[in-house]
Structure 1
Amino acid sequence: MKTILIVDDEPRTRQGIRKTLEAWSSGEHRIVTASNGVEALAWLEKNETNLLVTDIRMPEIGGLDLVEKLNEMAYPPVVIVISGHPEFDYAQRALRLGVVEYLLKPLDKAKLVRAVEQAFKREEDLHRIGRMEKLVDPKLLEAGEQEMKYSPPVRETIRYLEEHLHEPVSMREVAEHLHLNASYFSVLFKEQTGLTFSEYLTRKRIQRAKELLVSTRMPIADIAERVGYQTAKYFVKVFRSIESLSPGQYRQRDAEEEETTPY
Structure 2
Amino acid sequence: MYRVLFVELNRHSGEKTPYELDWKDLGFALDACARGSADAMSLLAEQPYSLIVIDMFGAHDEGMELCGKLRSKSGIPIILIGGSNDFQLARKAMSYQVSDYLPNPLSADDLRTSLLTVKRALVSVPSANYKMPALSVSERDSSSVANVIDKVKEYVEEALHQNITLKQISHILHFNCSYLGQKFKIHENMTFLEYLLQQRMEKAKHLLEHTDMKIYEIAGEVGYTEMDWFYKKFKSYTGVSANEYRKRISITA
| TM-score (normalised: structure 2) | 0.43
Q: Which has the larger radius of gyration?
A: 1
| TM-score (normalised: structure 1) | 0.42
